[in-house]
Structure 1
C-alpha cells in the first residue's frame, strides 16, 4: 500500500464502509464539480465514480476565491441512504445532501442554519442520530486565538433537520490550560460500550494532529486520552529524508481483515514547509491500546509503504492514484470525472470529439478574477512531474492567449501560451501571476514562425524549480525559460488550502472574441524519487 493513496490535492478525507465496499470523499473548495466520490474494495485501488456537487443548480462558487467554497465533507450511510454533510464557507454555511447511489445523482442541499460552524459529521446510534461539528467558543468569548469547541445536535435523518439545542462536547481541545487551537474535523464512533470522539487539533499545517476522547454516552462527558495526540508529525527532525508533515483530520474504518485503519491528510514538502501538491490522502494502520485507538503505532514517521494482510482487489479501467504514473488523454471520450472547472460548470464554451480533441472558445474572463474562465484542470500529483499539451491556435489580437497554466490560485500561477504581438507575429509567452486581478508579469517571449499553427507546450516541475518548453515546427523541444521559482506555487507562499493544478486555459483578457483554441491532447507524467527503487 503506497502513500499517499490519493496523490495531489485531495484533502480532508472522509470514508465509509458499506458491506465490502469503501467510499471516500474530499474537499474541493471553489473548484467544480465539488466533492469527488471514490470507490475501493481494498483501500488501495481507488476509482472516482462521481461528484456530489455536479449541477450548478445545487450551488456554485462564483465570486469566491479558489480557496473558499466547500470545506471538509463527511460521508455516512444509514438504512439504504448515503449522506454528505459539508460547509459552504462565507455563504449559507452547513448542509446535508443524500443519494441512494454514491455515484449520484445527489440531492439538492438541505441547509442547516442552526449548525453554526464548520466540518459537520453525522453519527447514527441505533434509533438516534447526531450531527457533530466545530463551533465558536462558549458564549462567543474565546479565551485565546484559535479557541473553538466541538458541539453536537440531535439530528432527524428523515427530515434532515436538527432537534433541540446544541451541546458542547469539547471546549478548546485536550487540555484548555495549554491553549489548544482549532479543534475541528470531528467524528464519533462506537466500539463496544465506548463512544469515541476524535478530531484534529493544532491547525492544518506543521502543528496538525489527531486527538481522541471517549465517553459512555454519545453526548458526553468526554474524557481525553492521556497519551494524546494519537497521530502527529510535529517534533520530528526537520532534516529527515523525504518528510511527511502536517498529518491530521483522520477518520477510522474497518478493513477487509477486520482491523482498524485511518485515512487522514498530510503533505510532502520538498523543502521546509514548501509543497505545491496540496494536502493529500494517506492511510495508516490503527492499534487498540487499553481500549484507545493509536494511529501508526509502530513508527514515529508516517511510512510511504505499508504491508497489509488482505488481498488486493483491482478494479477495471481504474487510473492510478498513488506512486509513479503517467497518462494521456486525447478527449475522444469527453472529460473524465477528475477534470476541474472554476466555480461552476457551463458546457456552452467547449466541446470534445475524437477528431479534434478539446475545442475551447476564448472567454473574456481571466484566471485572475473570481468568475468562470475557459479553464479545465487536472491536479499536480507529484513533486517531480511534467504536463504537456498539443495546441492548435491562431490569435487575432494580442489580448487572445491560449495555453497551459501551472495554477495555485488567482495570484499565484505561471502561464505558457501562444499569442501575437501588435504586428500580428505569433509568439510563445510566459507570464507570472501577481497580486492583481487585471495584469500579470511577462517573464519571457519568443517569436514563432508565421506559419506555425500547432505548438506543443510543456511544464516541467521539480520541487522548487519549474521549467517551460515549446516545440519548433519540426517538433523539437526548445526551452523557453528554465528553473523558474516554483515556491510561488506553494501553499506556504500563497496561503489557503488548495494544491496546484495544470489547466488548459484560453482567454481574450477582458475583450470580446469568437475565436477558439484546440487542445489535441493533455499528457501527464509523475516520477517522485521516493518511489524510484
Structure 2
C-alpha cells in the first residue's frame, strides 16, 4: 500500500513538473480567435436531398474510422480511432442509430494516456466497446501505441459519467475486442502475427482468442488459441485479417473480421462455429461487405469499406457500422476514413450488408418511427452544414481537439474569444502543439476565422494550419520580419518547407483568415479590413493533405494555430 502511495505521489509530482515546464515554454503573446465558421458544401448532398424518412451515410463525416458499437437497452454507444489526437477514442451516444451526440473522448486523462511524443498516425486505434449485462458494465478495449501501454481496457457503469483508469492486458497484437457469452464468460479476440517461424508471406496475420477473467480483468495465461489463420482461404494468401468481433445468435458463434488491408482491397468477412474457440468455418458468400469490384472512376465513389461491427437496431433489424472513404475528383483521400452505416440482412445463416456489395449510395431509409434531427438540438450534423463558433459558451465543443495533448494546456475561453497561449513548438515537431483542430468533413468547404494577434518577432506566428501530419501541411498566418508584419503561406512536403507566397500587411483591426477548398484546389484568403478577401498567392493543390501523398491513417485537420517557434519566414 505504501509503495502505491509513494508511486502516486511521484506521478503527481512528475505531472506537476511537466505542466510547469510546459507553461514556462509558452509565450505570453496570446492570439485571440473568434467568429469561426466551417461551411461544408459538397455537390453530392445538393444532388441528393433527403426525404422525411431518410438520413445520410456516413453518419460521422471526417476522420472517425474503425467504429465499434454496443447497446444497453435503447442506448447505443459508438467509439472510433483517434490516433495521436486528444482526448483519445471519441465516443458517441444515440437512441436510434440516426441521431448521435458527441460525448468527447474516453481517454481524457493525460497522466494516463499521453501521446506527447507520438506521430499523428500512432497513439490509439481500433477500439472495441461491449456492454456486459451480467455485471452491468461497459468495457472499452484498445491498442495504445504510446507510453508503453500496449493493449488496455477501461470500464464504466455509465459512459455519460466517464471511465476508469486503463488496465494493461498481457498480450501482443492489435485490434482487440471483448465478448461476453450468455453464461457470463468473457473472451478477448485480436489480430496477431503468426507463431514464430510460421509467417508465410507479407501481410499474413492470424486471429487469436483468450479467455478473460472478469474478477481480475486479465487474460487467463495459456488459454490463447489461433482461430483464424491468414483469412478466409489461406491458399490465396489473404492479407491483414484484423478487427475481429464475436457474436452469438441462435446458439451459434459468428466471428466477423476485416480482410484485405485498409485500402482498395478492404472487405468484411464472416465465419461461424459451435464453440467460441472454434473451429470457425468461413461463409461461402464472403465477402459480406466490400466496394473493391467496381470501376475506379465511378461517380460519387465510396471505397475502402470494411472494419465493421454489428448491432440490433431500434426496429430489431441488424445494422453494421464500418469505415469507408469518399475521395475527391483526383481520387485523393483528404477527408480520411469515415464512419458509415448500412442495414444488415441476417435472415439466413450468415449476415450480409444490404447494398454493401453494390456501389454505395449517400442516403438510407430510417429505422421505423425515427425522426431525423441531425444538426439540431445538439445532435451531430451530417450532409452539408455550417458550424459556427464564437467561443462564447462556457464549455468548448467536443469537435475541437488537441494534438498529442489536452487543448486546455494552451487555450482558454474569455470574453474576447478563444485565447491561445503559444508553445515554443511549431507544427512540424512531434510534440504537443498549441493548435485547436477541427476535422475536415467535406471535399468542398471553407473555414474562416477572425484573429487578433500582434507578432513581436519572427518567432511569433498565428493563423490557420491545414494538417495531414507533421511532415505534410500548409501554414497560413501572420508573423514579423524586422519592423514589418507579414502574412505568409508555407507548404511542407516530406518535411521540406517552402514559402508559397507572402505579403507585407498593415493590421489596424481584427484579421480574417480563410481556407477554401473545392476538391483538390485549395485557396488561402485574408481580409485585413475584416470584409474584403483577397487570395494570398494562387490556388494550390491539396495533394499533401491526402493520405495518398502523406501515408498514415488520419484525415486532414484544420486548426487555429499559434506558435512561439515559427520557422515560416517571408
**TM > 0.5 fold call:** yes
Q: In the alignment, what sits opposite 2:212?
A: 155
Q: Following the alignment from structure 1 to structure 2, what is the Cα–Cα distance between the partners of residues 392 and 474? A: 11
Q: Does 1:262 align with 2:320?
A: yes
Q: Does 1:119 align with 2:175?
A: yes
* Corresponding pairs, count: 505
**1:482, distance to aligned residue in structure 2 (A):** 3.5
Q: Does 1:335 align with 2:396?
A: yes
Q: In the alignment, what sits opposite 1:82?
A: 138
Superposed CA RMSD: 1.6
Instruction: Indicate conservation of the 8 Å contact 1:34/1:53, yes or no.
Output: yes
Q: Does 1:109 align with 2:166?
A: yes
**1:39, distance to aligned residue in structure 2 (A):** 0.6
Deviations 1:290-346 (A, max 9, x none): 311011248611221111341225486324431010011111124122211111226
Q: In the alignment, what sits opposite 2:276?
A: 218
Q: Does 1:282 align with 2:322?
A: no
Q: Does 1:485 align with 2:485?
A: no
- 3-state secondary structure, aligned to 2:278: coil
Deviations 1:157-211 (A, max 9, x none): 2321011321001000000000000000000000102100000000011110000
Q: Does 1:404 align with 2:464?
A: yes
**1:107, distance to aligned residue in structure 2 (A):** 1.1
Stretch moving more, 172-181 or 51-60: 51-60
Q: Does 1:388 align with 2:448?
A: yes
Superposition pairs of residues 315-334 of structure 1, within 5 angstroms: 317-333=377-393, 334=395
Q: Following the alignment from structure 2 to structure 1, what is the Cα–Cα distance between the partners of residues 93 and 106? A: 13
Q: Following the alignment from structure 1 to structure 2, what is the Cα–Cα distance between the partners of residues 272 and 455? A: 33
Q: Does 1:425 align with 2:478?
A: no
Stretch moving more, 162-171 or 208-217: 162-171
Q: Following the alignment from structure 2 to structure 1, what is the Cα–Cα distance between the partners of residues 430 and 213? A: 37
Instruction: Indicate conservation of the 8 Å contact 2:404/2:433, yes or no.
Output: no
| TM-score, with length taken from structure 1 | 0.92
**1:141, distance to aligned residue in structure 2 (A):** 2.8
The answer to which structure, 1 or 2, has the higher relative contact order (CA under 8 A, 6+ apart) is 2
Instruction: Indicate conservation of the 8 Å contact 2:288/2:356, yes or no.
Output: no
Instruction: Indicate conservation of the 8 Å contact 1:284/1:302, yes or no.
Output: no
Stretch moving more, 311-320 or 153-162: 311-320
Q: In the alignment, what sits opposite 2:21?
A: none
Q: In the alignment, what sits opposite 1:441?
A: 498
Instruction: Indicate conservation of the 8 Å contact 1:186/1:197, yes or no.
Output: yes
Aligned to 1:228, which of 279, 286, 295? 286
Deviations 1:341-396 (A, max 9, x none): 1112263432112x210111121111111111111101111110001110000101
Q: Following the alignment from structure 2 to structure 1, what is the Cα–Cα distance between the partners of residues 104 and 215? A: 24
Deviations 1:421-443 (A, max 9, x none): 22x2111110112333xx73111
- 3-state secondary structure, aligned to 1:369: coil
